[in-house]
Amino acid sequence: MTDRLPLVLVPGLASSSRIYAAVMPVLWQAGPVMVASHVRDDSIGAIAARILREAPARFALAGHSMGGYIAFEIMRQAPERVAKLALLNTSARPDTPEATARRHQQMQLARDGRLHEVLDMIFPSFVHPARVTDAALLRLVHDMGDDVGAAGFVNNQTAIIARPDSRPGLAAISCPTLVLAAEQDAVLRKALSVEIADAIPGARLAVVPDCGHLAPVERPEAVGAALSAWLGGSGASPA
């Protein structure tokens, strides 16, 4: 495996390339990095197909949260193109009826020009309890929401609602795989990452302590180290 393997990063719900900004310096050292856009289509299948059209012929793939749902679909559509896989703060399960109902409410608020209100509502669940008053982190979430926009947010949620159950395909994933969880993730709990890691042959599970759902910005040193090790660098694993 070449040490210049391109890396494709996929953001999560209402997130833009900014979610990876703090870990980009260490990732860039390993090779070319591309952050995919997931705002132009309203289905997981179409988002994955567009990313594949724009991505290098063969690449390492990392997805955070919704980005993990998209990564699973990329693995279904073109597994031969993915040399390595990293799944950060994500789940292989389909949406629950309760989550779907909540998403529809949030989508209507976004259509009504109230996306920032939605972001304010979900922020406390997105971060570690100690960071719920972190103004800089809230500002980042709002900035990413502005990057995505109301239409992109609605597309994100529409795609998430209809996502398939990825659990049946986990055993077929054969590339080197990192599954990263956060100890205090209130959105997609650690148990969901354990489930994924247990089902993918040879997958490595890394758990970031003192961290909520937005691990790449809450604990960039630990996330960067885990990703660097996965890519073949010398970064130490998180505790």
**Cα angle for residues 65, 160, 9 (degrees, 5° grid):** 40
Q: Which CATH architecture has domain 1-239?
A: 3-Layer(aba) Sandwich (3.40)
pLDDT tens digits, 64-117: 999 999 999 999 999 999 999 999 999 999 999 999 999 999 999 999 999 999
pLDDT tens digits, 18-36: 999 999 999 999 899 999 9
Dump the DSSP string for 29-70.
TTS-EEEPP-SS-SSHHHHHHHHHHHS-SSEEEEEETHHHHH
Instruction: Report how far residue 184's alpha carbon sits from residue 167's, in angstroms, rounded to the nearest whole number.
Output: 23
The residues that bridge with 60 in the sheet, in sequence order, are 7, 84
**Which of 64, 50, 82 shows the shortest CA–CA distance to 22?**
64
Tokens of 183: 């100890």
- Please check the confidence at residue 120 and state whether its pLDDT lies above 60: yes
pLDDT interval class at 235 (50, 70, 90): very low
- Please check the confidence at residue 154 and state whether its pLDDT lies above 50: yes
| Mean pLDDT to the nearest integer, 4-24 | 97
pLDDT for res 196: 98
Average per-residue pLDDT for the chain: 95
pLDDT interval class at 3 (50, 70, 90): low
| Mean pLDDT to the nearest integer, 41-46 | 98
H or E segment at 177?
strand 177-182
Q: What is the DSSP letter of 25?
A: H
